[in-house]
Amino acid sequence: MNSENWMEQIAELCDEEELLAPSCLKSKLYSRLIEAQQLEGPLKSLKETAGLCVFEKLIEILPAEKNLQSFQYCQVCHARVAGERIENAPIYWANCPYCEFQPR
């Protein structure tokens, strides 16, 4: 097997449906990636971020300190909890990454 494209060769052997990750796994990976980003430094403020969810939009319009503007609100959102634990979770908010991971 050619060492340069061995992953592509393995992927060709799989059906396309097998390549799709469950939404719970996608949600958990997203949460861990955000946690890793937070360890490296503060996240962008809400004003610098495009596509805010309904809860982030509320915080953005309130007079809040800068540290509250760069807090990762997904950590405390029930959509994250549902997305990480329930396949095809009943969450439907616009611009929520956990909603976007659901197979609809």
Q: What are phi and psi of 7, to 5 degrees?
A: -65, -40
Q: Is the pLDDT of residue 98 over 70?
A: yes
- Note the pLDDT of residue 18: 55
Q: Is the pLDDT of residue 9 over 60?
A: yes
Q: Where are the domains of the chain?
A: 22-100
- Indicate the residue type of 70: S
- Note the pLDDT of residue 63: 81
Confidence at 11, pLDDT banded by 50, 70, 90: confident
Confidence at 16, pLDDT banded by 50, 70, 90: low
- pLDDT digits 0-9 by tens, 32-89: 999 999 899 888 888 888 888 888 888 888 887 777 777 888 888 999 999 999 998 9
